[in-house]
Amino acid sequence: MTSSNSLIFLVSCCFVLATAIKQLPLEQTHHYHTLQLTSILPSSVCSPSIPGNKRRGSLEVVHKHGPCSTLNTDTVKPLTVEEIFTHDQSRVDSIRSRLAINTGKKDTLGSKASIPAKSGSTVGSGNYIVTVGLGTPTKKLSLIFDTGSDLTWTQCQPCARQCYNQREPIFTPSTSTTYSNISCASTECSELVSATGNTPGCSTSTCVYGIQYGDQSFSVGFFGKEKLTLTPKDVVNGFYFGCGQNNQGLFGGAAGLLGLGRDTLSIVSQTANKYKKVFSYCLPSSSSSTGYLNFGSGGVARGVKYTPFSTSQGGSFYYLTLKAITVGGTKLSISPTVFQTSGLIIDSGTVITRLPPTAYSALSTAFRAQMKKYPLTKPLSILDTCYDLSKFTTITIPKVSVFWDGNTNVDIAPQGILLANGASQVCLAFAANGDDSDIAIFGNTQQKSLTVVYDVAGRKVGFGARGCT
Ligand SMILES: *[C@@H]1O[C@H](CO)[C@@H](O)[C@H](O)[C@H]1NC(C)=O
C-alpha cells in the first residue's frame, strides 16, 4: 500500500466509522435514556438538591414519605406502594365526582359539625409538603401542597371535637396576636361555598367552614385571618384560612393543607396583588431529594415553554390541552379527538397520570415494543406494564414526551416514566382511566424534576427541563 492509498484508506475507513459512531449514540441520546437502575430505586438517605431555578427565599418541597420529610419519624408509618395507589384512585374518583357536581347540582354541609357524605377533593397520600410560618410569634407548620383545592387550613387548638396526630405542635390561635375570626356576614365567608363546595355555618357570629375529601378525610372549624410567613421576606398579612376544630384523615402527620387552586380564597388569589398570580415549583425526582415552591415571577427560569389553559372552565382545577405523546421518538397514533373528549387537568396531588384508555393502550403497546429485552412481570395495582430488572444495573428505556397545545413539548424524566417497587418490579408509571370520557390527569410522578410555572393571570402553564434533581 502506498502512502497516499493508505491515507485514502484511513480517511475513508475512519469517516465510515466516525459516521457510524456518531449516528448511533446520537440516536440513543435523542430517543432513549440510559441510566443506573439505582437512580430510580428509593433511597433511605436525604440528599437535598441544589436546584438551578431555586431562588433565595423559596420554600422547600419534600415528599411526605421520603427521608427528607421530618413527618416520617414517629407519627406516621410509611405507606406501601399499593396503599398509595389505593388513595390515589380515591383522589381521582373524587376529582371526577367534583367535576360532575360542579356541572350539576351543589349540595351543602348539613349541620356545621357533622361529617358530610358527599365526596370532595381528596388529599391522597403520595403528596408533597412545604413548611410555612403562621401567626405572631410565628409557628412552623408543614402543609400538603395541593393545586387541586383552594382553602388553606390547619388544625387548631383547642381541637374542640378532634385533631389527628401531627408532627409539629398544633396551632393555637389564642396565643397569636395577629389572629382574628371572620364574621358570618363577610364576603370571604360566602366565598367558602365555591372554595369548599359547602355552605358555611355560623357559630356566635363566627364563620364556620367545612371541607371533606374523598377518602373520609375532613376538616371543620372556624374561618380565620392570620399572618402567613412563607419565607422571612415573603409575609402575607391577613391571610384567610381554616382553623380546624374537627379534623380527621390521611394527612400523614402534616398540619393541614395549602390550597394552590384557581378559585377565590386560594393562596394564589389571596396574594394576587403581591405575586400577580404566578407561582412555580419543582417536585424532586426522588423522595430522598428536595424541590421548591416559589411565589411570583422572580424565580422563573429562562427556557420555560408555555401552554395555555384550555377553555374557560372555572373552579379549582388547571385545565390544559394535550395534543400528542411520543415514545422513543415515535408519535403514537392517537386521534386528537381522544384528548379533546376527555379534557385534562394538571394536579400536584394525583400521583400517577391518568390517560383515556385508548391513549394508554397505544402508549403501553409502544413502550413494551421498545422494552422487549427486559422480562415482563406481574402488574402493580393500577400499573400493568412492569418489568423484573433485578438482573440489570444499567437500563436503556425509550424517552416519553408529551406535546401540549402551543407547540410545547416536554420530556418526562426517567423517574416519571418508571416507578419501582424494588428492582424486581419496575413499572411504566401511567394508568388508564375507566372510560375515554373520564378526565385525564397529568400527575405528580410525571412532573418530577420539571420546573412547572403557573401563570394564572396569563392563563398558561409553563414547563422547563431540569428544575431540580
Ligand atoms: C373565634 O370564635 C369562636 C366561636 O365563636 C370562639 O370560641 C373563639 O374564642 C374566637 N376566637 C377569637 C380569637 O376570637
Which pLDDT does position 153 carry in this prediction? Answer: 97
Which pLDDT does position 34 carry in this prediction? Answer: 94
Q: What is the pLDDT of residues 393-404, one digit of tens each?
A: 999 999 999 999
Q: Which of 88, 146, 263, 436 is catalytic?
A: 146
The more confident residue out of 221 and 91 is 221
What does pTM read for this prediction?
0.87
Q: Which of 88, 234, 263, 347 is catalytic?
A: 347
Instruction: State if residue 454 touches ligand 1 by the CB under 6 angstroms criterion.
Output: no
* pLDDT surpasses 80 at 257: yes
* pLDDT surpasses 60 at 101: yes
Which pLDDT does position 59 carry in this prediction? Answer: 86
How, if at all, do strands 418-420 and 408-411 pair?
Answer: unpaired
Nearest C-alpha neighbor of 286 from the set 52, 438, 65 = 65
| Spacing, Cα 179 to ligand 1 middle (Å) | 10
| Cα 91 to Cα 145: distance, rounded to the nearest angstrom | 14
In the residue annotation, 347 being an active-site residue is answered as yes
| Cα 226 to Cα 360: distance, rounded to the nearest angstrom | 45
Average pLDDT of span 81-95: 86
* pLDDT surpasses 60 at 200: yes
How, if at all, do strands 153-155 and 256-259 pair?
Answer: antiparallel
Which pLDDT does position 276 carry in this prediction? Answer: 95
Pocket test for ligand 1, best of 174, 176, 208, 222 (most atoms within 8 A of CB): 222
Instruction: Tell which atom from ligand 1 comes closest to the C-alpha of 180.
Output: 13
Instruction: State if residue 203 touches ligand 1 by the CB under 6 angstroms criterion.
Output: yes
* pLDDT surpasses 50 at 120: no
Per-residue pLDDT band for 72 (boundaries 50, 70, 90) equals low
Share of the chain above pLDDT 90, in %: 64
Pocket test for ligand 1, best of 159, 171, 174, 181 (most atoms within 8 A of CB): 181
Whether the Cβ atoms of residue 252 and residue 65 lie closer than 8 Å to each other: yes
Whether the Cβ atoms of residue 386 and residue 377 lie closer than 8 Å to each other: yes
The least confident of 106-115, 274-283, 382-391, 410-419 is: 106-115
Which pLDDT does position 440 carry in this prediction? Answer: 97
* pLDDT surpasses 60 at 117: no
Which pLDDT does position 251 carry in this prediction? Answer: 80
Write out the three cell numbers for 457: 393571570
| Cα 432 to Cα 436: distance, rounded to the nearest angstrom | 9
* pLDDT surpasses 70 at 129: yes
Residue 382 DSSP label:
T
Which pLDDT does position 121 carry in this prediction? Answer: 40
Q: What is the pLDDT of residues 425-467, one digit of tens each?
A: 999 999 999 999 999 999 999 999 999 999 999 999 999 998 8
What DSSP line would sit under 240-279, residue for residue? EEEEEEEEES--TT--EEEE--SSTTSHHHHTHHHHTTEE
Share of the chain above pLDDT 70, in %: 83
Per-residue pLDDT band for 145 (boundaries 50, 70, 90) equals confident
Q: Which residues pair with 137 in a beta bridge?
A: none
Phi/psi of residue 391, nearest 5 degrees:
-95, 5
| Spacing, Cα 181 to ligand 1 middle (Å) | 6
Which pLDDT does position 468 carry in this prediction? Answer: 87
Per-residue pLDDT band for 42 (boundaries 50, 70, 90) equals confident
The per-residue b/e assignment along 61-100, b for 16 or more CB within 10 angstroms, e otherwise, is: bbbbbbbbbebbeeebeebebeebbbbbbbbbbbbbbbbe
Q: What is the pLDDT of residues 224-243, one digit of tens each?
A: 999 999 998 899 999 999 99
Per-residue pLDDT band for 289 (boundaries 50, 70, 90) equals confident
- Quick check: helix, strand or coil at residue 119? coil
Average pLDDT of span 289-312: 85
Whether the Cβ atoms of residue 181 and residue 295 lie closer than 8 Å to each other: no
Which pLDDT does position 80 carry in this prediction? Answer: 80
Instruction: State if residue 181 touches ligand 1 by the CB under 6 angstroms criterion.
Output: yes
Instruction: Tell which atom from ligand 1 comes closest to the C-alpha of 174.
Output: 13
Nearest C-alpha neighbor of 225 from the set 181, 259, 271, 186 = 181
